[in-house]
Amino acid sequence: MASCDLNSKNPLLLVSCGDQPGLIHAITGVLLGMGLNIVSNQEFVDRESRRFFMRTEFEGAADFARLGAAVRAALPASADVRVQPPARRRVAILVTKEHHCLGDLLLRHAYGELAAEVVAVIGNHAGLRPLAEKFDMPFFHAESANCTREAHEAEVLRLLSHFTIELLVLAKYMRVLSPEFVARWPNRIINIHHSFLPAFAGAKPYHQAFQRGVKVIGATAHFVTAELDRGPIIVQQVIPVAHTHTPQDLAQAGRDVEQMVLSRALRLVLEDRVFLCGNRTIIFD
């Protein structure tokens, strides 16, 4: 099938560090000195944490290692510097029973809409195997029903170890991951959930939403952290609903907004447009 044209993409310089005068001048000086041309540049200083963020797309023949070293040398020692060539990020998708986010991602992947190479789908139920296989995607069933969380997570990790995964996408994976698991993928796990939390914690959120008579249904994509559903928010969106909608209609609306929000969040992450600032995200869109 068709494929995303990485040749049309430029390399990126990604920097974050404590703010101080002269950062942009120093960084652009390094690029200029190496004959590299800035195509687009976005910076942001968070006033509260006094932290500086910069995403620079550049063109020109660069020795990426040398560029990274030179930028690091020009900045405070604690600076976080990354030079990112155009690349497809290797991604695994974790699922449970619901198909909508997985189907949407596999379709976008198949047509090269994502700068990702999805290498595996892991389900704690086996039901989505046929969908993965339609797209020639390896599906692994890591049972969670008759084992401890430790055993289940060990099996997931064992499966993931066969691949070199850079990003995990929880596409309606309905298990709570242990802090130990999450710690292995810091800010590299993206989750989607119905936006009712904390309003509608617990079971049957769409029945609760129906009972409460809400007029909008939303979804939130966020990074997973040790604290459940409290990780940095990447994308949030809502769609309007009405009293004529049954709980089933609300669930359909929820699925629709979830798949929009998750694919948008994944795209932003894959294009290195998302920086973390404490528990918030800086999005250079």
**285 catalytic residue (yes or no):** no
Cβ–Cβ < 8 Å for 122, 157: no
Choice from 189, 235, 250, 262 touching a second copy (CB under 8 A):
235
29 vs 159 by CB, closer to a second copy: 29
Is residue 178 a contact residue for a second copy (CB under 8 A)?
no
Binding mask 240-279 for a second copy (x = CB under 8 A): x-xxx-x-----x---x---x----------------x-x
Q: Is 211 in the site for a second copy (CB under 8 A)?
A: yes
Determine which residue in the list 85, 199, 204, 227 makes contact with a second copy, applying CB under 8 A. 199
Query: 3-state SS of the chain?
Result: CCCCCHHHCCCEEEEEEECCCCHHHHHHHHHHHCCCEEEEEEEEEECCCCEEEEEEEEECCCCHHHHHHHHHHHCCCCCEEEEECCCCEEEEEEECCCCHHHHHHHHHHHCCCCCEEEEEEEECCCCCHHHHHHCCCCEEECCCCCCCHHHHHHHHHHHHCCCCCCEEEECCCCCCCCHHHHHCCCCCEEEEEECCCCCCCCCCHHHHHHHHCCCEEEEEEEECCCCCCCCCEEEEEEEECCCCCCHHHHHHHHHHHHHHHHHHHHHHHHCCCEEEECCEEEECC
Quick check: 212 binds a second copy (CB under 8 A)?
yes
The residue from 6, 18, 39, 147 that contacts a second copy (CB under 8 A) is: 39
Task: Assess 43 for contact with a second copy (CB under 8 A).
Answer: yes
202 binds a second copy (CB under 8 A): no
Task: Tell which one of 135, 141, 154, 165 touches a second copy (CB under 8 A).
Answer: 135
Cα 112 to Cα 116: distance, rounded to the nearest angstrom: 8
Q: Residues 46-65 vs a second copy: string with x where CB under 8 A?
A: -x------------------
In whole angstroms, the minimum distance from the beta carbon of 283 to a second copy comes to 6
Total residues at the site for a second copy (CB under 8 A)?
Answer: 65
According to CB under 8 A, which one of 125, 129, 238, 272 is a site residue for a second copy?
Answer: 238
d(CA 233, CA 220): 7
**Residue 107 found at the interface with a second copy (CB under 8 A):** yes
Q: Which residues bind a second copy (CB under 8 A)?
A: 1-2, 21-22, 24-25, 28-29, 31-32, 35, 37-45, 47, 99-100, 103-104, 107, 110-111, 113, 130-131, 134-135, 198-199, 210-216, 218, 232-238, 240, 242-244, 246, 252, 256, 260, 277, 279-283, 285
